Amino acid sequence: MIASIPNRKIIHIDMDAFYASVEQMDNPVLKGKPIAVGGSENRGVVAAASYEARKFGVRSAISGVMAKKNCPNLIFVSPRFERYKEISKQIHKIFKDYTDLVEPLSLDEAYLDVTHNKKGAASASLLAEEIRLRIFNEVGLTASAGISINKFVAKIASDYNKPNGQKTVNPDEVIAFLENLPIRKFYGVGKVTTEKMYQLGIFTGLELKSKSVDFLEKHFGKSGVFYYNVVRGIHNSEVKPNRISKSVAAENTFDTNLSSEIFMLEQLDKIATTLERRLKRSNVSGKTITLKIKYSDFTQQTRSKTLPYYISDKGLILESVKELLYQERMKDSVRLLGISMSNLNTEVKKAVFVQLKFSF
């Protein structure tokens, strides 16, 4: 079924190198230097990199070893998530001065629906400029923004003039913008899908648009309709201010690989404590417990168990985790363990879409 187009005024705010920028703000010695938050030159994974480090190919999710190889002068900084949350709250408080329709994607980015905003402003672009200026003046960090008729286009646009910039894609510019867009820049199209599209001769939005919905469904299943719609500027997803998390997790990467289940249980006890705190802070419980294991060769394994009742208690979590740990023998020493809780006792409300017409 092909969707209709409800035009809204959506701003996507994305903080610039958030974790790294907070560290540079709090410690002036780090300003202007290549830094990586998380990891180390011996092991671990980079959580964020400053723009000075990105010039050398340092980015999130690469190993600390590779990051140091790419940038010999790289400075590793331990993450301070409580501090990042504190700063994130300050930023979201600014958002709420403009609209209550704020959907956080993470600590450092969010969608804002300013179709009907608290300032009574007609221009979403000017609002984005004002919000970014306030973040800089009141928090001390820079942010980038994308502004358009839906979340999909706004998200892509926010990456165009980074850092400390913004891009507006007006309603009459959306189709041309998407047609000229390289397929790898489409939000939600990952590396595997990109390669598959290349094999099918799809390199740009225009080439994607030339394919029928039947063709796309044949090659991409249910995602085919999504691709068919978004390249035509159709993305009906509303900004959801009370977006429900599908899972809550905690994990830890170890300085030394673990080869004994006894040592693993000691670490899992600590991880379960963190998970329990996060569950209770969010006032949620779950039925499905998943144990994540990453081995020394970087291969990953997950083991899950679903209970007939909801839990959030550390003791009950550990009972199930122990079962999962001993479910089968370890194939190698372990560098990372994690526990996640899904199948949560939360409700997701269906969105109601309204056709809107106005000048942008």
Any idea which residues carry the catalytic annotation?
109
If one counts every other C-beta atom within 10 angstroms of the C-beta of residue 230, the result is 22
CA angle 135, 351, 220 (to 5 degrees): 95
The Cα 288–Cα 310 span in angstroms is 8
The Cα 246–Cα 259 span in angstroms is 32
Cβ–Cβ < 8 Å for 341, 245 = no
The residue among 192, 330, 338, 341 whose CA lies nearest residue 281 is 341
Which residues neighbour 345 within 8 Å (Cβ) at sequence distance 6 or greater?
284, 285, 286, 310
Rg (CA), the chain: 22
Q: Which amino acid is at 308?
A: P
The residue among 116, 127, 137 whose CA lies nearest residue 13 is 127
The Cα 123–Cα 308 span in angstroms is 51
Secondary element (H or E) of residue 104: strand 102-106
Q: Is 221 exposed, middle or buried (0-12, 13-18, 19+ CB in 10 A)?
A: exposed
Backbone angles phi and psi of 345, in degrees to 5: -90, 55
The residue among 259, 249, 248, 250 whose CA lies nearest residue 335 is 259
